[in-house]
Structure 1
Amino acid sequence: MNSHVHKTLVVQLQAGATERFPVLAHLGYDAADPFALTVVFGHDGRVLARWALDREMVAEGLERAVGVGDVRLRPASRGRWDELRMEFLGDPRVDGERHHAVVYAWAPAIAAFLRETYAVVPRGEEEVRVDDFLAEVIGS
C-alpha cells in the first residue's frame, strides 16, 4: 500500500492589494506524519513558500472558518465556484507588518485530495507513536 499522496493544483494567489494570479500548489501527505499535509507554492520554477498544515483543519476549512494564528481557512464562493480560502501570515517585514498572502483553491479538488489521504490513513485513525518519537529524540 502506498503511504504517500501527492497532487499538483493550479491555485490563485493574492498578495497584498494585487489581483489574483495563478501559481502551482504541490500538496503532499505522508502516513509517517498522519496529521500533517504539506503544501509548496511555486511559480516559474521558483518556490514561493512552504507550509505544513493540519489535515483536520483543512477538512474543517472546507465547511467553516477555522484558524486564529498564522493560517486561517474558510470556504468561499465565487459565482459557481466553491473555493477554499487560505490566508497565510509570514515573517515580519521591515515596516513592522507581516507578509500576508491569500490563496484560493478549488474546493472539490482539495476535498478529492483529502479523500485520497483518508484512503491511506482513515480520518480518526491517526496514531502518534510516542515511543518511536522519544527513541528518535534520545538517539539524536
Structure 2
Amino acid sequence: MSTVIEQSVQARMVASAPRMETLPATLRYDRRDPFAVSMAFPAKATLEGADVSWEFSRELLAAGMDGAAGLGDVRIRPYGYDRTVLEFHAVEGIAMVHVRTAELRLFLERAQELVPAGDEHRFLDLDRNLTDLFDGT
C-alpha cells in the first residue's frame, strides 16, 4: 500500500483582472506526516518563477470547505455552490485560488482511507522526529 497520495487539480488564480487564469496544482498527502497536506504550484504560476508548495493541516482543509477556517498564512472558505477558495498569505502578498470542492472532497476521502481522522497519532514516528529535531546538537 502506498503511503503517499497525490492528486492533480485545476486551480483558478484570482487576480485583479476580471479573467481568472487556470493553472495546474498538485495536492499531496503523506501518511508519514499524517496531520499535513500540501498544495504545489508550478513555476509559471508564481511571481518568482520557481515551484512553490504550501503545507497546512488536513483538518483546516476539511473545515474550510464547509465554512471559513484559518487565521494564519493559509485561509480556506467555501465560494458559491461548488468551489472552495484557498488564500495563501506571504510577505510578497496574497495568492487566492479557487478549486472545485468535489476535487478537494475526493482528495480528503482518499487521505481518510490511508489514515482515518483521529488516528494520525498512530502513524507518527516519534523516534525519527526527535532525531531530526536534535540532529547536530
TM norm structure 1: 0.84
Say yes or no: does 1:30 pair with 2:24.
Answer: no
Amino acid aligned to 2:34:
P
Higher strand share: 1
SS in 2 for 1:124: coil
Per the alignment, residue 114 of structure 1 pairs with: 108
Per the alignment, residue 57 of structure 1 pairs with: 60
State percent identity of aligned pairs: 28
Return closer, same or farther for 1:111/1:61 CA change in 2, 3 Å cut-off: same
Return closer, same or farther for 1:131/1:83 CA change in 2, 3 Å cut-off: same
Gaps of 5+ in 1: 93-98
Return closer, same or farther for 1:131/1:43 CA change in 2, 3 Å cut-off: closer
CA distance in 2, matches of 1:9, 1:136: 32
Higher helix share: 2
Return closer, same or farther for 1:85/1:129 CA change in 2, 3 Å cut-off: same
Per the alignment, residue 9 of structure 1 pairs with: 9
Gaps of 5+ in 2: none
RMSD over aligned CA atoms reads 1.9
Say yes or no: does 1:75 pair with 2:70.
Answer: no
Say yes or no: does 1:123 pair with 2:117.
Answer: yes
CA distance in 2, matches of 1:86, 1:65: 10
